[in-house]
């Protein structure tokens, strides 16, 4: 059977890691723009200023347990020669988009995933009128895609929110953002009508628990703030879906989950239960967005923790009506959890997290990221058996400290990773009958990693001459994986040698 003839093959990007041009075209600042660079085991920092004019920085990011800026602090840029903000330059797609899209088209892509910078369209997030220069820029990006026969997939909110909304309202903690997001989304639907058909509302919506500032602009994030923000994002997504169905019925609006199975380390029932609950904590988000209601296990958890949802009359009906049209997901690997011996090696990278341990059956790279040859098939079966909907892998990749030699990168490790994932997807389609819409490789062009804020952790099939501080020619070069993936696409996934 194999992949369908209209299968989407391509790559995925995010504006805060790829676009650059932060101070061009009338854009406002986003939360990502005040995040510094970091490194493996060196967390990124959010810079802020106090009412007395002093400034500081705090790791409100992935790999950190800190959840609050000091009372009275405002997240902002600081003028210090030792501070570098990677999003400001990134891979300079802002000035290279025609070249990058051409290279992706020559690789055989029929789909490219982008995210929009909300504050490029509404600089403060709630401006009365959109910034026309921002709309014109994105229109030309999407028109260029169409000229090459590439379908754009657009993420409306991908790990950045207007900085003004974060400072004034504590981000998505406030219900005020719901209608502002719907206004932004419907502005995009109208402005890009005929150019964009597929949208995602929130990137990896379940990651709010791990990095509430990154995902939801929360400057103060206790469990109640996070529950409020989660509810408000659910509500905004549902209202956006309803608006699209009512006024732009040709559009298809999906959700996006950070997926990946959690395995029990042993057959001890306690480990099995821990794995079940870990998976539930992830699928809670897709339960709401694909089934239209809060599951009983999550409501019971909130009740135990004394958390009250900010529900107003009509909200629950809105969640039920506004379920998404398809479920998209990112998938980098799997996790292993145990209730046993503390001396077990802790999981890192895509296998990290509280209570997670290393999988002794999988090899990892320098960042602790492992390649699981069955993770796609397992995840696709779990998702389809739970939701019975169209599925789309819109993000999957592996970062590596590539060596650029003689004008290229010999990245057989990336090819091995992609081969394993595509083979696993193919098994799910052929052997299990899973309806899969497409596969978009993450970071098809080198860009800044989100977790570390560095360029050294490269994902791309197209090399970008830039270092961790944005220095370099920005010249694009093709890696071995570029040519391998081109061959895979030409064969519609049949030739994986």
pLDDT of 346 over the 90 cut: no
Q: What is the pTM of this model?
A: 0.96
pLDDT value, residue 352: 57
For every residue of 24-69, DSSP letters joined together read STTPPPBGGGGB---BTTB---EEEE-TTS-EEEE--STT----BP
Q: Is 75 helix (H, G, I), strand (E, B) or coil?
A: strand
Active-site residue, selected from the candidate residues 107, 160, 348, 395: 395
In the block, tokens 């107003």 appear at 312
Contact status, residue 413 vs residue 463, Cβ threshold 8 Å: no
Q: How many residues does the chain have?
A: 497
Q: Please list, residue by residue across 291-316, b when 16 or more beta carbons sit within 10 angstroms of its beta carbon and e when fewer do.
A: bbebeeebeebeeeeebebeeeeebe
CA 308 to each of CA 174, 287, 299: distance values in angstroms, whole numbers, following the listed order: 14, 19, 9
Determine the Cα–Cα distance for residues 229 and 222; give it in Å rounded to an integer. 11
- 174 assigned to some structural domain: yes
Question: Could you write out the three-class secondary structure of 191-247?
Answer: HCCCCCCEEEEECCHHHHHCCHHHHHCCCECCHHHHHHHHHHHHHHHHHHHHHHHHH
Contact status, residue 161 vs residue 172, Cβ threshold 8 Å: yes
How much of the chain exceeds pLDDT 70, in percent? 98
Determine the Cα–Cα distance for residues 215 and 62; give it in Å rounded to an integer. 10
pLDDT value, residue 102: 98
Determine the Cα–Cα distance for residues 310 and 302; give it in Å rounded to an integer. 12
pLDDT in tens, 16-26: 999 999 999 99
Q: Tell me if residue 204 is catalytic.
A: yes
Tokens of 307: 């958390």
By residue range, what is the domain housing residue 273? 8-27+88-490
pLDDT of 189 over the 60 cut: yes
Q: What are phi and psi of 484, to 5 degrees?
A: -65, -45
Residues 418-438 have a mean pLDDT of 97
Residues linked to residue 489 through DSSP beta bridges, in sequence order:
none
Residues linked to residue 441 through DSSP beta bridges, in sequence order:
11, 396
User: In the Cβ-directed half-sphere of 328, how many Cα atoms lie within 13 Å?
Assistant: 28
pLDDT of 173 over the 90 cut: yes
- 403 assigned to some structural domain: yes
- 341 assigned to some structural domain: yes
User: In sequence order, which residues have a C-beta less than 8 Å from that of residue 367 and are 6 or more positions away?
Assistant: 40, 348, 349, 399, 452, 457
pLDDT band at 349 (very low <50, low <70, confident <90, very high): low
Active-site residue, selected from the candidate residues 204, 348, 452, 454: 204
Q: Tell me if residue 301 is catalytic.
A: no
pLDDT value, residue 220: 97
Task: Give the DSSP letter of residue 91.
Answer: T
Contact status, residue 130 vs residue 121, Cβ threshold 8 Å: yes
pLDDT in tens, 84-130: 999 999 999 999 999 999 999 999 999 999 999 999 999 999 999 99
- 229 assigned to some structural domain: yes
Task: Give the DSSP letter of residue 74.
Answer: E
- 65 assigned to some structural domain: no
Determine the Cα–Cα distance for residues 22 and 465; give it in Å rounded to an integer. 20
Contact status, residue 423 vs residue 373, Cβ threshold 8 Å: yes
pLDDT of 152 over the 60 cut: yes
Q: Report CA 350 to chain centroid distance, whole Å.
A: 14
Q: What are phi and psi of 244, to 5 degrees?
A: -60, -45
Residues 29-36 have a mean pLDDT of 98
Q: What is the mean pLDDT of the chain?
A: 95
- 495 assigned to some structural domain: no
pLDDT value, residue 353: 62
How many independent structural domains does the chain possess? 1
Task: Give the DSSP letter of residue 397.
Answer: -
Determine the Cα–Cα distance for residues 129 and 187; give it in Å rounded to an integer. 10
Which CATH number is 162's domain given?
A: 3.20.20.80
pLDDT of 1 over the 90 cut: no
- 80 assigned to some structural domain: no
CA-nearest of 470, 449, 445, 476 to 88 is 470
For every residue of 403-467, DSSP letters joined together read --BTTB---HHHHHHHHHHHHHHHHHHHHH---EEEEEEETSB----TTT--SSSB--SEEE---
User: In the Cβ-directed half-sphere of 24, how many Cα atoms lie within 13 Å?
Assistant: 12
Tokens of 343: 């001396």
pLDDT in tens, 260-309: 999 999 999 999 999 999 999 999 999 999 999 999 999 999 999 999 99
CA 190 to each of CA 168, 243, 248: distance values in angstroms, whole numbers, following the listed order: 28, 11, 8
- 56 assigned to some structural domain: no
């Amino acid at each position: 059977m194999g992949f369908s003839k209209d299968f989407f093959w391509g790559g995925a990007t995010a504006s805060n890691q790829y676009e650059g041009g932060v101070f061009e075209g009338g854009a406002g600042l986003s939360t990502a723009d005040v995040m510094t660079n970091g490194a493996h085991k060196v967390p990124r920092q959010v810079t802020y200023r106090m009412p007395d004019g002093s400034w500081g920085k705090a790791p409100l990011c992935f790999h950190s347990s800190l959840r609050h800026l000091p009372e009275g602090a405002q997240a902002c840029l600081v003028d210090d020669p030792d501070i570098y903000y990677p999003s400001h330059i990134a891979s300079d797609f802002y000035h290279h988009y025609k070249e990058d899209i051409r290279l992706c088209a020559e690789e055989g892509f029929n789909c490219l995933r982008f995210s929009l910078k909300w504050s490029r369209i509404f600089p403060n997030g709630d401006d009365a009128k959109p910034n026309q220069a921002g709309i014109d820029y994105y229109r030309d990006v999407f028109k260029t895609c169409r000229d090459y026969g590439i379908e754009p997939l657009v993420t409306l909110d991908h790990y950045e929110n207007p900085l003004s909304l974060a400072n004034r309202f504590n981000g998505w903690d406030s219900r005020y953002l719901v209608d502002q997001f719907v206004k932004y989304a419907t502005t995009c639907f109208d402005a890009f009508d005929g150019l964009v058909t597929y949208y995602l509302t929130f990137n990896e919506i379940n990651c709010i628990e791990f990095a509430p500032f990154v995902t939801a602009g929360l400057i103060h994030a206790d469990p109640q703030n996070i529950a409020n923000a989660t509810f408000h994002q659910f509500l905004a997504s549902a209202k956006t879906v309803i608006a699209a169905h009512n006024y732009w019925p040709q559009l298809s609006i999906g959700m996006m989950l950070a997926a990946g199975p959690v395995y029990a380390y042993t057959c001890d029932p306690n480990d099995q239960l821990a794995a079940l609950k870990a998976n539930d904590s992830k699928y809670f988000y897709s339960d709401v967005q694909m089934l239209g209601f809060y599951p009983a296990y999550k409501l019971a958890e909130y009740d135990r923790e004394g958390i009250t949802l900010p529900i107003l009359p009509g909200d629950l009906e809105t969640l039920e009506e506004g379920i998404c049209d398809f479920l998209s997901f990112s998938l980098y690997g799997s996790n292993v959890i145990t209730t046993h011996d503390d001396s077990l090696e802790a999981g890192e990278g895509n296998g990290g997290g509280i209570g997670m341990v290393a999988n002794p059956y999988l090899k990892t790279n320098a960042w602790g990221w492992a390649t699981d040859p069955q993770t796609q098939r397992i995840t696709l079966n779990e998702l389809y058996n739970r939701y019975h909907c169209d599925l789309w892998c819109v993000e999957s990749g592996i970062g590596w400290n590539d060596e650029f030699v003689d004008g290229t990168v010999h990245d057989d490790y990336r090819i091995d990773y992609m081969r394993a994932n595509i083979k696993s997807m193919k098994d799910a389609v052929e052997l299990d009958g899973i309806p899969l819409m497409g596969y978009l490789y993450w970071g098809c062009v080198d860009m800044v990693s989100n977790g570390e804020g560095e360029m050294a952790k490269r994902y791309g099939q197209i090399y970008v001459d830039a270092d961790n501080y944005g220095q370099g020619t920005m010249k694009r070069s093709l890696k071995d994986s570029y040519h391998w993936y081109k061959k895979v696409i030409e064969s519609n996934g049949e030739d994986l040698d």
